[in-house]
Amino acid sequence: MIRKTRLFTPGPTPLLPAAQFAMAAADVHHRTPEFRALYTRVLAQLKEFVGTKNDVIILSSSGTGAMEASVSNLTSPGDRVLVLTAGKFGERWTALAKAFGCEVDVVSAPYGKTFSLDEVAAALKLETRAVFMQANETSTGVRHDVQGVAKLLKDRGSEALLIVDGITGLGTSHLDMDGWGVDVLIGGSQKAVMIPPGLSYLAVSDRAWDRMEATYNPRYYFDLRKERKNAKNGESAYTPAVALIAALGAALDYIAAQADGNLVEGRKKLVDNAETIAAMTRAAVEALGMKIFCESPGAAATAVLPPAGVDSGVVVKELKSRFAAIITNGQGEMKGQIFRIAHLGFFDYLDTIALIGALEQVVAKSLPTPGFAFGNGLIAAQKVYAERTSK
């Protein structure tokens, strides 16, 4: 049998062919009218994709660069901040805030769990200047209650800014930045927008822009005010990743084309697609005798517990060696404990059916699962798809 490599990872994700073509053709200098027109168009499209009227900034960095920029631009040494963490990426917020001299309070939930709003309320102080959280904790598959946290801050009359890592949340969750009152929402290129790693983007509220004028943590390359000033002229402050920006424009065009050119509706379809194939996957793995690892599962990725006594690496290795299907193991202390299957971006129904079929083959050969029969996972997934698309 021939094998065709397929990514089922939560970043990098499969590349959109139109974006690859756009990258190959992106032989343009960044200080020209041609690039300024492209850059201005992509920035406007990003506002629609994020779903905001706020200014959006593009950085030539991974999502962690945008996370760092959020801390360095919005805090000063000694500021008290609150980090809400339930996994590896929540822990990254803690490390970043400490690196820039903040006094960090932490609300921590065990891996696979999410924090309660009561816990957040108890940890919030009058002097809290910022709250940092994820929309999705990709290391465990958990979706956090961004809307609930935003409402809590608003109801308490808190001056704290709400900064949300939406790197895997954008394009997989219905997020309402402006309506909820999120101050910074971060995205990344190698996720739902279906292009290679190397770009991050941030939507920034007026409150956050105002805060930057009063903070004094060091910043240079990641000075968001410089980027905002240059973006108004269709330029970046420093040399941009020209090919990736061309690819991003092609990807946003593709998303809009899914809804007859309406990018807002295309974004909603992208989220609904992720929600559907995530639900299909959850139903399938449960029908195959395995359990979902987390509570409040998101649609970016599904984290699965293998049968008792089985290292999750067995599933990861067999899917790769037998079918060239690339999924991910657990991270850090969860390595060997869970495997993760992604749903964000350029995945569809047929990709999902193929992966479930391959997973059935792995279960049949290598996983001790009472009551296993070929087709159990596929039938469960088919039923979910039929129910969700019959309306």
- C-alpha distances (whole Å) from 363 to each of 81, 115, 371, 375 are 45, 33, 11, 12
The count of structural domains within the chain is: 2
| Cα 252 from chain centre | 16
Q: Are residues 252 and 335 in the same domain?
A: no
pLDDT value of position 370: 86
The pairing of strands 301-305 and 291-292 is antiparallel
Does 325 fall in a domain? yes
pLDDT of residue 66: 98
Residue 31 lies inside a defined structural domain of this protein: yes
pLDDT 10s digits, 276-324? 999 999 999 999 999 999 989 999 999 999 999 999 999 999 999 999 9
* Of 116, 139, 130, residue with least CA distance to 164: 130
Residues 298 and 199 occupy one common structural domain: no
So what's the pLDDT on residue 320? 98
Range of the domain at 384: 6-12+263-389
CA distance 180 to 176: 6
Kindly state whether residues 268 and 371 are assigned to the same domain: yes
| Same domain? 312 vs 193 | no
The string of pLDDT tens digits covering residues 224-278 is 999 999 999 999 999 999 999 999 999 999 999 999 999 999 999 999 999 999 9
Strands 80-85 and 128-134: parallel
pLDDT at 346: 97
* pLDDT at residue 368 in the model: 84
Same domain, 142 and 55: yes
234 with 306, same domain: the answer is no
Residue type at position 389: T
Do 240 and 319 reside in the same domain of the chain?
no
Output the CA angle 122-126-129, nearest 5 degrees. Answer: 100
Q: Which of 257, 287, 308 is at the close of a domain?
A: 257
Instruction: Let me know whether 149 and 22 are in one domain.
Output: yes
Residues of the chain below pLDDT 70: 391
The CATH number covering residue 143 comes to: 3.40.640.10
What is the helix (H) or strand (E) element at residue 136, kind and residue range? Answer: strand 136-137
Domain boundary among 257, 281, 315: 257
Q: What is the CATH number of the domain that holds 321?
A: 3.90.1150.10
152 and 230 Cβ atoms separated by less than 8 Å: no
189 and 230 housed in the same domain: yes
Strand order in the sheet with 55-59: 55-59, 200-204, 184-188, 161-165, 128-134, 80-85, 103-108
CA dist 261 → 37, 38, 40, 195 (Å): 19, 17, 18, 20
Residue 286 lies in a domain: yes
**Per-residue b or e along 86-114, where b marks 16 or more CB atoms closer than 10 Å to that residue's CB:** bbbbbbbbbebbeebebbbbbbbbebbbb
1 within a domain of the structure (yes/no): no
- pTM of structure: 0.97
Of 257, 288, 318, which residue is a domain's last? 257
CA-based max dimension of the chain: 64
301 lies in the same domain as 193: no
End-to-end CA distance of the chain: give it in Å, rounded. 38
- Please tell me whether residues 231 and 295 are part of one structural domain: no
Judge whether 45 lies within some domain: yes
- Are residues 232 and 323 both part of a single domain? no
Which pLDDT value is given to residue 31? 94
